[in-house]
């Protein structure tokens, strides 16, 4: 019995020792995976870059919906989706048989009107001489003059009718207004189409666009648009073409805000430069617009900057403790803030408020101090998008 008791005690002691060692190893592994957050940082020189990121859809700068100006039936359609056309090339033509018939009839009317005009002119000139010699009455003379004037009007009317027919004939052949690519073509040869002046603005025969000049239509948040201006450089990446990067320029910023996806912002056009042939309308572009830039400046992490009574300051590490020092902030990005005055390279600053640190004193030159109470300068205090 005594032997069994000793065996049980030994087994319990072994289990306890194994569990103790296992827990210690787990704690050590957890400590290695989750190292302690640093509480200080060194003031050093670095480049500050604040870049506005956005996204938009790529589309042509010039896109036209091609619709006929007159009713008719498509008789020629030499282009299809994806074809390229130069300025002046035929896009489609309408059957002009009826108009050609009207033109022939107008030409015949003109010839008849010319003959009638010649006849009435001779009668009028003869009546003038006879009336001058008092050989005919006033009534006969007036009738000859009226016939001559009516013949002139008939000829003018016939000429105008011919002009109208020729104008309609010119509208049966629609040519490319600029070098373009055919994006859509929903109709076929033989299909009847209505004019753009008719119901629902007529039949859309095709849409064309100049794909050599393309833009990105983006929606920029109202908090960022004030920092943008026309002509700014933009770095562009296309999601559909991995690794493709090229440049663009801010071409236009809408003067009035709109709401898109419940976000108030401004419609912005980015003109693409050196377009890769793989880029097509409808693709999504990711935009990077540099708004703030400062090279080789003294900078500290945003977490080291505190705000008190309307001033910004840091805690500088000394031999024994930390001291408060006011600073002036310049360019700011998502992680660092440029220090215009108050710090030197190599000094150490605290990322948290030291327990026994002295309270900052308000500057005598400051008027209307901000509400009291210190605030750790995280992203909210300095503002990720602010140059102070």
For the stretch 155-182, pLDDT in tens is 999 999 999 999 999 999 999 999 999 9
Cα–Cα distance between 53 and 264 in angstroms, integer? 16
Element (H, E) at 379: helix 379-382
> Running DSSP on this structure, what letter comes out for residue 195?
-
Q: How confident is the model at residue 381 (pLDDT cuts 50, 70, 90)?
A: very low
- Give percent of the chain above pLDDT 90: 45
CB 288 within 8 A of CB 246: no
- On the question of pLDDT at 9 being above 80, the answer is no
Q: How confident is the model at residue 387 (pLDDT cuts 50, 70, 90)?
A: very low
Average pLDDT score over residue span 255-266: 91
> Which stretch of 77-81, 117-121, 273-277 has the lowest confidence by average pLDDT?
273-277
Cα–Cα distance between 330 and 312 in angstroms, integer? 11
Which of 186, 185, 182, 202 shows the shortest CA–CA distance to 194? 202
Cα–Cα distance between 358 and 322 in angstroms, integer? 8
Q: pTM value?
A: 0.62
Pairing of strands 284-301, 233-238: antiparallel
Cα–Cα distance between 175 and 64 in angstroms, integer? 12
Let me know if domain 62-95+172-212 sits in CATH 3.20.20.80: no
Taking only the tens place, the pLDDT of each residue in 88-143 is: 999 999 999 999 999 999 999 999 999 999 999 999 999 999 989 888 899 999 99
- On the question of pLDDT at 372 being above 70, the answer is no
Q: What local confidence, expressed as pLDDT, does residue 349 receive?
A: 87
CATH number of the domain at 41-47+294-382, out of 2.40.420.20, 2.10.109.10, 3.30.1490.20, 3.10.20.30?
Answer: 2.40.420.20
Q: What local confidence, expressed as pLDDT, does residue 5 receive?
A: 54
Q: What local confidence, expressed as pLDDT, does residue 156 receive?
A: 96
- Class in CATH terms, 96-171: mainly alpha
Unique residue bearing structure tokens 């929903």: 186
Q: What local confidence, expressed as pLDDT, does residue 3 receive?
A: 56
Q: What local confidence, expressed as pLDDT, does residue 369 receive?
A: 40
Fold of 54-61+214-289: Elongation Factor Tu (Ef-tu); domain 3 (2.40.30)
Cα–Cα distance between 369 and 341 in angstroms, integer? 20
Q: Angle 97-132/138-170 helices, nearest 10 degrees?
A: 160
Average pLDDT score over residue span 198-226: 89
For the chain, the domains span: 41-47+294-382, 54-61+214-289, 62-95+172-212, 96-171
The reply to whether 54-61+214-289 and 96-171 are identical in fold is: no
């Amino acid at each position: 019995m005594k032997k069994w008791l000793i065996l049980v005690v030994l087994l319990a002691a072994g289990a306890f020792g194994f569990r103790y060692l296992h827990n210690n190893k787990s704690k050590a592994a957890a400590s290695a995976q989750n190292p302690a957050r640093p509480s200080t940082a060194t003031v050093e020189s670095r480049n500050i870059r604040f870049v506005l990121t956005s996204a938009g859809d790529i589309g042509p700068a010039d896109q036209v919906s091609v619709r006929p100006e007159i009713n008719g039936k498509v008789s020629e359609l030499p282009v299809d989706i994806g074809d390229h056309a130069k300025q002046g090339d035929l896009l489609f033509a309408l059957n002009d048989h009826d108009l050609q018939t009207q033109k022939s009839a107008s030409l015949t009317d003109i010839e008849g009107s010319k003959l009638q005009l010649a006849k009435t002119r001779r009668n009028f000139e003869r009546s003038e001489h006879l009336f001058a010699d008092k050989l005919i009455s006033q009534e006969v003379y007036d009738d000859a003059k009226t016939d001559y004037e009516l013949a002139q009007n008939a000829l003018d009317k016939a000429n105008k009718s011919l002009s109208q027919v020729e104008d309609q004939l010119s509208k049966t052949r629609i040519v490319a207004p600029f070098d373009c690519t055919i994006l859509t073509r929903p109709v076929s040869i033989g299909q009847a189409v209505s004019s753009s002046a008719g119901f629902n603005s007529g039949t859309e025969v095709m849409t064309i666009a100049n794909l050599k000049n393309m833009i990105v239509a983006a929606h920029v948040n109202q908090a960022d648009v004030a920092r943008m201006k026309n002509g700014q450089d933009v770095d562009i990446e296309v999601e559909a073409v991995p690794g493709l990067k090229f440049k663009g320029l801010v071409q236009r910023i809408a003067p009035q805000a709109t709401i898109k996806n419940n976000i108030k912002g401004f419609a912005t056009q980015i003109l693409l430069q050196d377009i890769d042939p793989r880029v097509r309308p409808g693709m999504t572009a990711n935009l990077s617009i540099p708004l703030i830039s400062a090279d080789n400046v003294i900078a500290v992490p945003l977490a080291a900057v505190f705000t008190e009574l309307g001033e910004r300051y840091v805690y500088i590490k000394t031999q024994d403790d930390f001291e408060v020092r006011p600073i002036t902030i310049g360019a700011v990005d998502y992680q660092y803030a440029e220090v215009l005055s108050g710090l030197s390279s190599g000094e150490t600053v605290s990322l948290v408020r030291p327990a026994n640190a002295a309270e900052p004193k308000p500057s005598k030159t400051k008027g209307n101090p901000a509400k009291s109470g210190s605030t750790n300068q995280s992203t909210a205090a300095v503002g990720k998008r602010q140059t102070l």
